Structure 1
Amino acid sequence: MLYHWLAPPFLLVALFSCLSGHSQQISGFVLNSEGQPIEAAMVQLHPTERFAISDSRGRFAIPFSERDSISYLEVTHITYHTVHLDLSALKDLSPLRIKMTDAVTDLREVTLVQHRILEKVINNSQSIISIDRDFISRNSSGTFSAALATLPGLNTMNVGVGIAKPMIRGMGFNRILVNNRGIKQEGQQWGADHGLEIDPFDVEQVDVIKGPASLLFGSDGLGGVINIKENEPLAENGNTVEYRTMYQSNNGAISNSLEWKGRQEKWFYSVRATHQDYGDYTVPSNEFTYAGFNLPIFDNRLKNTAGSELHFSSSVGYRTKNLKSSLRFTSFNQRAGIFTGAIGLPRVYNLQHNGEFRNIDVPRQENHHHMLTSNTTLSLGRDRLEVDLGYQRNIREELSFPGAHGIAPELANSNLALGLYLDTYTANLRYEINPKPDHEILFGMQLQYMDNQNDGFEFLLPVFQSFQMGLFHYRLWDLSSKWTVNAGIRYDMGTHDIEQHLQPIYDRGTLLPTGEFDERTPAFDRRFNNLSGALGATYKMNTKNLWKLHLGNSFRFPTAIELSSNGVHHGNFRHEVGNPDLGMERGYQADVTYLHRSKGLSLEVSAFFGYYTDYIYLSPTGTFSPLASGGTLWQYRQEDALFNGFEITGSYYLPFGLKVDLGIDFVQNLNLDSSLPLPLTPPPSVQLGLEYGVLPNSKTVNNGYLFVLGRYNFEQNQTDRNERTTPDSFILNAGLGFSTRLFGQNSKFRLSANNLLDTAYFNHISRYRLLNLPEQGRNIVLSVQIPISL
């Protein structure tokens, strides 16, 4: 407890007690080919993390200490080619004049070395957003998914503040694939209360692919892919240590992450440990609704929403001119309380606090995700071979009191209501052929085997084994300096072997077993196969304007959950029943994207349309569950559906160091059988941000910026039958950031206020929306990043 009280004051003391040594500076001007100043160019001093942003006169200044070992400057700007300046060749560091040349809008120029064709096919036909560690750090509030929610077209489905999962263009669950360092992340992603089990501090580069990507990544890529890339090793021999810490005022959340990264000739390695601890969070409301009854929220604080997390990762790799191979292990561990008013039959006395705001009581989740991955790339002349191997162990346990579920407490060995244990084995193989500079060929194969076991006094999913195999072939042609096309074909087959489950029947009066059993799931197996294809094209009108087109036939096999579940899903307050007769989903989709890049302006407009046959969704049956606290009975069904929408993303650099960011997204869908929208569709939104990035530098503080960000969510009244409408809302965020010398190191600080106006608003796709619970209230976030050179 002493640590919890000392951590926030320590951060504030560190913020205002910066230590500085004898310093110098590198300064100069960034100019274009005509000698005119370039504003908002980023000038970074390597291998340190010191940087500056050029002002309206193109001027920059970067202070550094005599203790720093500096080698070169890197200058980047959205509309100019990157410039690298070797400082060791300069005799004089007096004001420099750095000239940048106009960049041609050619997506191949930003293609990374890894997965060259894979990257180029995606970049040359679909809407894709690339984000880095700095973006995630700026937008993080404790979960990786929450950092993505500021991107147009993306939303977050959450349970409180510690459990969150992404949605892309109105699609979520098993229609969004998370490709984690080459391996499809597998867990219990089918549930609204099952979060994405990834350490937010352990991600450096992410590509968000909006739209169908089943052909390249597998059936779960029907709606989009979140592609988490491998962390880059150090460029030179040596070791670095980085400490990152964050404090949040709303729930007293304290996050600490420490990473050691090193390189020795051809070997590279890293180790990271992260700990997060948070208490019950507050909302701008004093009541909520459960089963038609209004119940109180004492002191605006939701009881039993505290949590604790401990994550670990380590990697080792070997790299030569023709070979790169790495082995990585990650362990995600979380204990998260579930709001006492969200499970069972809540009573007023159960909702009162006992003064222990960081206590994690029952009901709660205990989630563990352990992952071992191997990534190897071998260059064979002009060809390349890539092999990704992975093993995942996912453990999800829900703990609750047996009496709340109609079972006598003495009959249960523990409070384990539901235990789900999933083992996943994955192998990916890609072979790249480059017969000509303008013609590239890719062959690929994916294999996956899953084994699911269960435990606990409740039942939701049976024991099952699943296998899936996919073969794909892609080609890319540069037809001219303006036209690039790509096309691919894929074949998949999959199996599900479902085991029978017999559940004891309990007497409702005595809560004792009757000796009879109910067959909740029969034994059966299903087999699927599919052939699909895709076609993409890029047309470069000129150096500033680019068009992309993607046409595809994507697919998704029904999951074992959709086929065989039969139990109360407390995460959604309903009894869910699978349908063993479900067929395969098919999607026929078109995406069009327009890109504009010019001096000071970046604009992207994307529009999409999809027609889906046999779209799988949960629908109420109109009857009540026979199970205790089961609520209504819902069953998986299939109907044809339509999706369409658009996103607009823009940035414009104004004079005096100002930058304006705009994000607009809109998605709508239609169930062609009921003529109603599908459930859990996010509302349209408009996001507008203003950043001032030329704060005056001093001996201790530099690279400062101020920002304000407003988001307006429109009313969501396009809802399915029996689904709540959600009123419109406006949320305002603001903050500042800067760099300074702390303990002799160039450290970064960020102070922000989320939901600055303490607005009571609802997230339409949040689980707690069903309880009429608003989202988290005002939250002050202070984060510090301290690199330590060794």
Structure 2
Amino acid sequence: MGNALHAIASNFLYVITTVVTLGCNCYTYSQSVSGYILDIDNTPVASATITLHPKKTSIISDSSGFFTISRSEEDDITAFLEVSHVAFITKRIDLVSRNRSELLTIILDKKINDLEEVVVLQPMGFENVTNNSQSVITINKDFISKSNLSTFAEALKALPGLNTMNLGVGIAKPMIRGMGFNRILVNNRGIKQEGQQWGADHGLEIDPFDIENVEIIKGPASLLFGSDGMGGVINIKNNEPLIENGNLLTLQSVYQTNNRAISNSLEWKGRQNKWFFGTRVTYQDYGDYTIPTNQFTYAGFNLPVFNNRLKNTAGNELHLGVSLGYQNENFKTSLKYTSFTQKAGIFTGAIGLPRAYNLEHNGDFRNIDFPRQENQHHMLTSNTSIDFEAQKLEINLGYQHNVREELSFPGAHGIAADLVSSNLALGLYLDTYTANIKYDIYPNANHTIVFGSQSQYMHNTKDGFEYLLPQFDSYQLGFYHYQLFRVSERWTMNGGIRYDYGMHDIQRHEQPEYDRETLRPTGRFIERTPEFDRNFENVSGAVGITHKLNKKHHLKLNFGNSFRFPTAIELSSNGVHHGNFRHEIGDQNLAIENGYQIDATYLHRSENTYFELSAFYGIYDNYIYLAPTGNFSFLASGGTMWQYQQNDAIFNGFELAASHQFPFHIKTDVVIDFVQNINRDTRLPLPLTPAPSVLASIEWNQFFKNSKYLDEEYLFISGRYNFEQDQIDRNESITPDSFIVDLGLGFHIPLQSNAIHCKLSATNIFNTRYFNHISRYRLINLPEPGRNFVFSAQIPIGF
């Protein structure tokens, strides 16, 4: 199966490359049209889109409202400009009667946006798409970079309904409405990201600097994305190519004081007529991070934290990305290769029983010692779209190679060192082949019909003297049909149905038994995982409706049936997951998860105010989760034992997001999150449920309005109050409440045709000792990182 899919992918990529090679166009003689975009108060309008017709080439105005766009000789007869901006009425400028050398001044009239188009939550920088009956958020690279952090997931925690499961300063994993791991699907450039997302000690293996546009769907998204989309989808879209011919070279640098992290990312983007390309290199290096305490508790022992630094939490990362594409009016194709490489220490207290003497530093806070993890994620994606008159075909192909290696001293695992050939404790190697096809039909402007299919094949192998997962093969195939129909100007309906098939082929594994005293093999073997096959089938669907009361008020209602096939990990694991401080045991008899959830959303948008309230209620059958047993592992370095279990569950909660623009360029934001759940069989909450929280911030913009040296300046202060989390499962600890304050400022230094973007922020400014209930370090009572100053600069160094 793997060889067949690999051959199909290779042949398709060969065809695409051939088509692109034959599509080279010749240069055309051109001049340019230049000018300024202003509002009625003569204030420059940045980020306005200027489109030259009839060729439909576009450019974006800069921070001073200036633009220049190429105009060829053949444009003279019918040429005109169309200027559009989300906050202004679109304007058309005829060019036929104008002098080619004339510098244009275009005045735009303000408007209040119709919610039927796009709602922009200006204070937080993300958009809410309202023609979808679900709760949907879109964010751009400006929002991500404003957090000044080195992980993409960490930037998401400011959004309503999202939380972050942190591992120190450099690793973070997102959660949506209390669901994470394999219930959050990351759709990376049209391909489902596959790696070790089931582990809390693994972050998203994606370069955080290489993300420009993201769509986040909250709630059940199985209809369009399949299994693993129960809690929501993080849909990372392709980066947009340059609008005009030319090159852009940009350097982005970040420094963090807490763990002395240094990040540098260099990007080169270029375009020549219908060809475009991009390349990026990112390197991050960080030391042991600090926490606001000098001791922690593990297995009943109080242990020291010397100099407030956690020993062996340093690491480094190297990310590479290369893309090549071709685009004309009806056809677009791109090929992208990314490589994510990470080497990170595993806190010394994670393996065996730590002692005070081996927790003390040797003075080198950047040393990456044993135990450590070495991860790689290589991904090749091909994205092709073909537009017909009233139809569109999309083909997305992908290959992923994921490497997860843990290195450690054999003696810490109860094995004599001379019995093994290397320090590789655990090696997991996952190959994934993906093919997705989507066909859109537009019978008229009010009706959209979608047919799609998704297929995926995974092959996992293992190595090392430890054992956690067996070798396995997995396959999934799904077909779906979706329709969206605008009944009237006020009513829109959408819905669809889906069929999926999945299978797992699990191989048997026996592990040698070692004597606890001599660390030598006893000659006996223990069957850790038997050989078995599992097959699954499922039919699901969803339906929704949106209603526009008027231009300021909008209602949405969605009912979705989501599902998730049990993963090979949940079915067959039986070993120590050191990154999570526990022995994890699977259950080969687990059934399909099914969820039925209703979402209701109210939106309000006026000229200065945005308000969104979303509530959800879901019933889940056969919900799979890891639960602590309260017992210690029989393995030498096992820690506590956790068992994959399955019960019926209920999830419900709400999110509130509000912002208001006051006079004098002052704006405020408030975000409230609340989620609760209950195990319908035990009548207890499920483990790892995020605590309710309130986030409030105030921001002051443009306080140097007339400055020639600074532009787009801002200053903000935010505070997050996390309520006590006492809704816990058996053997979980109550997490006390906390209040965290962050500060930040940013500004642009204008250049001739671009600007240097500078940012400074301070997280946990008062160095508060607090716990994140969903952090893996919560298990050993380690608090979250202490005060952290972050400096960043984005510098255009070539054009």
* CA RMSD across the alignment: 2.6
Matched, 1:105 2:119: no
Q: By how many angstroms is 1:620 displaced? A: 3.3
**Any residues of structure 2 matched to 1:471-482 within 5 Å, and which?**
471-482=479-490
Partner secondary structure for residue 730 of structure 2: coil
Matched, 1:221 2:229: yes
Q: Amino acid of the residue matched to residue 695 of structure 1?
A: F
Could you tell me which of 330, 338, 345 is aligned with 2:338? 330
Q: By how many angstroms is 1:682 displaced? A: 0.4
Maintained 8 Å contact 1:45/1:51? no
Could you tell me which of 348, 356, 362 is aligned with 2:364? 356
Q: By how many angstroms is 1:100 displaced? A: 2.1
Q: By how many angstroms is 1:93 displaced? A: 7.3
**Any residues of structure 2 matched to 1:552-631 within 5 Å, and which?**
552-631=560-639
Distance 1:789 1:298 in 2: 45
Matched, 1:429 2:437: yes
- Out of 384-393 and 411-420, give the one that drifted further: 411-420
Q: Deviations over 1:395-441 (max 9, x none)?
A: 00011111011000111111111111000000001111122222221
Distance 1:90 1:492 in 2: 59
Q: By how many angstroms is 1:107 displaced? A: 3.5
Distance 2:208 2:601 in 1: 29
Q: By how many angstroms is 1:623 displaced? A: 4.0
Q: By how many angstroms is 1:50 displaced? A: 7.8
Q: By how many angstroms is 1:443 displaced? A: 0.5
Maintained 8 Å contact 1:426/1:448? yes
Matched, 1:504 2:512: yes
Distance 2:229 2:243 in 1: 33
Moved over 4 A (4+): 25-29, 37-52, 68-77, 79-97, 119-123, 741-745
Closer, same or farther in 2 for the Cα pair 1:366/1:344, shift >3 Å? same
Q: Deviations over 1:69-98 (max 9, x none)?
A: 688997745x65566989998988799753
Partner secondary structure for residue 404 of structure 1: helix
Partner secondary structure for residue 149 of structure 1: helix
Q: Amino acid of the residue matched to residue 729 of structure 1?
A: S
Please name the residue that 1:30 is paired with.
Answer: 39
Please name the residue that 1:319 is paired with.
Answer: 327
Please name the residue that 1:768 is paired with.
Answer: 777
Distance 2:297 2:620 in 1: 35
Could you tell me which of 180, 188, 198 is aligned with 2:196? 188
Matched, 1:340 2:360: no
Matched, 1:698 2:707: yes
Matched, 1:659 2:682: no
**Any residues of structure 2 matched to 1:31-180 within 5 Å, and which?**
31=40, 52=63, 76=85, 80-81=88-89, 97-107=107-117, 123-180=131-188
Distance 2:664 2:166 in 1: 39
Q: Deviations over 1:580-604 (max 9, x none)?
A: 1110000001011111110101111
Distance 1:96 1:489 in 2: 48
Please name the residue that 1:55 is paired with.
Answer: none
Please name the residue that 2:650 is paired with.
Answer: 642
Q: By how many angstroms is 1:625 displaced? A: 2.2
Could you tell me which of 722, 726, 735 is aligned with 1:713? 722
Q: By how many angstroms is 1:770 displaced? A: 1.2
Please name the residue that 1:440 is paired with.
Answer: 448
Closer, same or farther in 2 for the Cα pair 1:413/1:256, shift >3 Å? same
Could you tell me which of 467, 474, 480 is aligned with 1:466? 474
Partner secondary structure for residue 569 of structure 2: helix
Closer, same or farther in 2 for the Cα pair 1:236/1:787, shift >3 Å? same
Q: By how many angstroms is 1:109 displaced? A: 9.4
Maintained 8 Å contact 1:715/1:728? yes
TM-score (norm 2): 0.88
Matched, 1:252 2:260: yes
Closer, same or farther in 2 for the Cα pair 1:95/1:372, shift >3 Å? closer
Q: By how many angstroms is 1:48 displaced? A: 9.5
Q: By how many angstroms is 1:328 displaced? A: 0.4
Distance 1:101 1:583 in 2: 53
Partner secondary structure for residue 220 of structure 1: coil
Partner secondary structure for residue 621 of structure 2: strand
Please name the residue that 1:22 is paired with.
Answer: none
Distance 2:674 2:99 in 1: 52
Matched, 1:748 2:757: yes
Maintained 8 Å contact 1:40/1:653? no
Q: Amino acid of the residue matched to residue 101 of structure 1?
A: K
Please name the residue that 2:378 is paired with.
Answer: 370
Maintained 8 Å contact 1:145/1:165? yes
Q: By how many angstroms is 1:633 displaced? A: 2.6
Q: Amino acid of the residue matched to residue 459 of structure 1?
A: Y
Maintained 8 Å contact 2:160/2:673? yes
Distance 2:92 2:789 in 1: 38
Q: By how many angstroms is 1:302 displaced? A: 1.0
Maintained 8 Å contact 2:36/2:44? no
Distance 1:255 1:199 in 2: 11
Q: Amino acid of the residue matched to residue 365 of structure 1?
A: Q
Maintained 8 Å contact 2:119/2:128? no
Closer, same or farther in 2 for the Cα pair 1:50/1:100, shift >3 Å? closer
Distance 1:613 1:390 in 2: 32
Please name the residue that 1:538 is paired with.
Answer: 546
Partner secondary structure for residue 580 of structure 2: coil
Closer, same or farther in 2 for the Cα pair 1:49/1:339, shift >3 Å? farther
Please name the residue that 1:58 is paired with.
Answer: none
Maintained 8 Å contact 1:49/1:746? no
Please name the residue that 1:12 is paired with.
Answer: none
Maintained 8 Å contact 1:107/1:124? no
**Identity across matched positions, percent:** 62
Maintained 8 Å contact 1:44/1:73? no
Closer, same or farther in 2 for the Cα pair 1:214/1:453, shift >3 Å? same
Maintained 8 Å contact 1:40/1:657? no
- Out of 723-732 and 82-91, give the one that drifted further: 82-91
Matched, 1:778 2:790: no
Partner secondary structure for residue 410 of structure 1: helix
Distance 2:584 2:649 in 1: 21
Distance 2:493 2:38 in 1: 40
Q: Amino acid of the residue matched to residue 793 of structure 2?
A: V
Could you tell me which of 704, 722, 728 is aligned with 2:737? 728
Runs of 5+ consecutive residues of structure 1 not aligned to the other structure: 1-24, 32-36, 53-60, 111-118
Maintained 8 Å contact 2:513/2:522? yes
Q: By how many angstroms is 1:699 displaced? A: 2.6
Distance 1:577 1:533 in 2: 32
Distance 1:342 1:82 in 2: 59
Q: Amino acid of the residue matched to residue 361 of structure 1?
A: D
Matched, 1:408 2:448: no
Aligned length: 740
Q: Amino acid of the residue matched to residue 124 of structure 1?
A: N
Partner secondary structure for residue 220 of structure 2: coil
